[in-house]
Amino acid sequence: DRADLQPRVRDVAGAIETMETRGAANIADAAADALRAQADGSEAETAAALLAELRAVARLLLATRPTAVSLPNACRYVLRRTGGDSVEAVRASAVESVAEFRARLETAQRDLGQVGANRLRDGDTIMTHCHSTDALACVEAAVDDGKALTALVKETRPRKQGHITARELTELGVDVTMVVDSAARRYMNEVDHVLVGADAIAADGSVVNKIGTSGLAVVARERGTPVVVAAGTLKLDPATMTGNAVEIEMREESEVLDETEREAIGDISVENPAFDVTPPRYVDAIVTERGQFPPESIVTLMRELFGEGPTEPWQE
């Protein structure tokens, strides 16, 4: 643990850990903000010392939650563009690349929103899972284009991110009906598109998203309902190009059972994975700011954006 990290850095890391800041894009934006706070407030006396602090910030952030690849991608983006011979040069390049990263994040969401909106027709019903700002960007763009939409919103146990989605869709003027997660198949007949986000997309086109996404995709495939994944290129995981698997976060059992329930049940184990992997064959389109892709061809875009593999600029 380092004494030279800014309080804001610890606040950001803490908020990601407790899920006060959650969702892949929001996590990336907060991580960039933590790097900026360190660059701004640092008392480092040499360029090398400031760079070492920024790498330490990245490592602290990376230890918060393992699955959303937007977090390492945000750190990669900023740290690769940060450098210089003086403290001032390092600070200025860090602050500038954070601003650039955040601006790109916003533009990407707007652009992919328009791509996703083009798939949606006036009068369509979507089914959502969890809360994804990328997926909501598609809905917002469709609404801006004058399309009326209806949504079936899955509650999303155990953390009920469906509540956030339901509120935000309502604010956009979408007619919302909430269902418990296990009701998805019961209502699939009424759905024109399943629309979800992603925490990570692997080189083979597999989609890592909130637990329950893969089951939803299988049910949608059974009915021939298209599964659309709204995911900016920030969600592409370059480490999967070299065979690394995406780590699935396992969370506390207290999210599933409270103490009273736990005691009443007795001696059992509880598993609480936060995410699952949807194989590419169940996904119809990955909607990015660079256009929509069938999952099988996403690797081409990954190679273009990341070369043959990642570098890890936060290593000492």
Please confirm, yes or no, whether 130 is among the known catalytic residues: yes
Q: Tell whether residue 214 is a contact of ligand RUB (CB under 6 A).
A: no
x/- string (CB under 6 A) for ligand RUB, residues 147-176?
--------------x---------------
x/- string (CB under 6 A) for ligand RUB, residues 53-72?
---------------x----
Q: Tell whether residue 240 is a contact of ligand RUB (CB under 6 A).
A: no
Instruction: Please give the residue whose beta carbon sits closest to ligand RUB in the complex.
Output: 197
Q: Tell whether residue 133 is a contact of ligand RUB (CB under 6 A).
A: yes
Q: Tell whether residue 132 is a contact of ligand RUB (CB under 6 A).
A: yes
Shortest Cβ 278–ligand RUB spacing (Å): 12
Burial class (CB in 10 A: 0-12, 13-18, 19+), 86: exposed
Please confirm, yes or no, whether 75 is among the known catalytic residues: no
Q: Tell whether residue 21 is a contact of ligand RUB (CB under 6 A).
A: no
With CB under 6 A as the contact rule, the residue among 33, 134, 140, 155 that binds ligand RUB is 134
Q: Tell whether residue 76 is a contact of ligand RUB (CB under 6 A).
A: no
x/- string (CB under 6 A) for ligand RUB, residues 26-45?
x-------------------
Which residues lie near ligand RUB (CB under 6 A)?
22-26, 68, 130, 132-134, 161, 197-199, 209-210, 274
Q: Which residues are catalytic?
A: 130, 199
